[in-house]
Amino acid sequence: MIENKLINLKKKGFLKLDNVDLDVLNLLGKKIKLAFDRALKLVNEQDLTNEKLNHFIKRVDRGSLDLNCLSDSENLSLDLIKNLEIIEIAKEYWNSKKIKYSRSHSKFRHVDPLNNKQTKYSPLHYDGTFLNHNNSINICIPFTGYGGDYPGLQIFPESKNFFKKKIIQKTQRFSFVNYFVNSFNPIVEKGSYICFNQNVYHRRTIQNCKKTRVNLEFRIFPEYTNDKNLDLDFI
């Protein structure tokens, strides 16, 4: 089973998996939704006194809260992550006995398709640019749905072909180019998640959806990664 998924990850750079622990997911999801509600209220009042929520309040377009925005949010996230299949797959993928995670580059995300501050933030990119091109996997776990009625992602499978990469970059300015490259808009139900590496081009999609998406974005790295900017620890 794991073999096929590993082959897919090596080939395309991304995977959709399932079997998230729903008890932990619901518990953490409830707390995080309340934290975003509180943060949105503080945005209206332009109140920056709650430091743990300022990552969101200062840049609503980005829509994110820190992993430790609540006293137990980091620990609950680790509870959620450590039993996921992707952790075992990642060990094989990187030939790494242990896996690290980044505190500074793991976030909770809130995307309201009706909030025009958030709809403008959807540039095409790959995460390697701000991760110093370290090997990494972004694990995206929705507390709501993801894609379909909810904001999602358009994902372009990894390509080592220089010209293919150039064509993908053109989709930002010329939407018709989308017809010439393979891309996916995964619909991820609660209990499932998507993972992709730092070379995969992607962008936020908000067309035809009305519901607010809330999710965890958790970044993992092989044990040999040493980068102070990432604030790394073992899982």
Number of other residues whose CB lies within 10 A of the CB of residue 163? 8
Question: Which residue's CB is nearer to Fe ion, number 178 or number 199?
Answer: 199
| Residue 127 or 158 having the CB closest to Fe ion | 127
Minimum CB separation from Fe ion for residue 87, in Å?
Answer: 20
Up-side HSE of residue 203: CA atoms within 13 Å toward CB?
18
Point out the residue whose Cβ comes nearest to Fe ion. 127
Residue 2 Cβ vs Fe ion, minimum distance, rounded to whole Å: 25
**76 and 199 Cβ atoms separated by less than 8 Å:** no
Which of 70, 142 has the CB closer to Fe ion?
142
- Taking the complex as a whole, the smallest distance from the CB of residue 102 to Fe ion amounts, in Å, to 13
Report, in Å, the least distance between residue 202 CB and Fe ion: 6
Which residues contact Fe ion by CB under 5 A? Answer: 127
Q: What angle do CA 32, 34, 37 make, to 5 degrees?
A: 115
Please identify, using beta-carbon distances, which residue of 12 and 70 lies nearer to Fe ion: 12
b/e 53-67 (16+ beta carbons within 10 angstroms → b): bbbbbeebebbbbbb
CB 81 within 8 A of CB 19: no
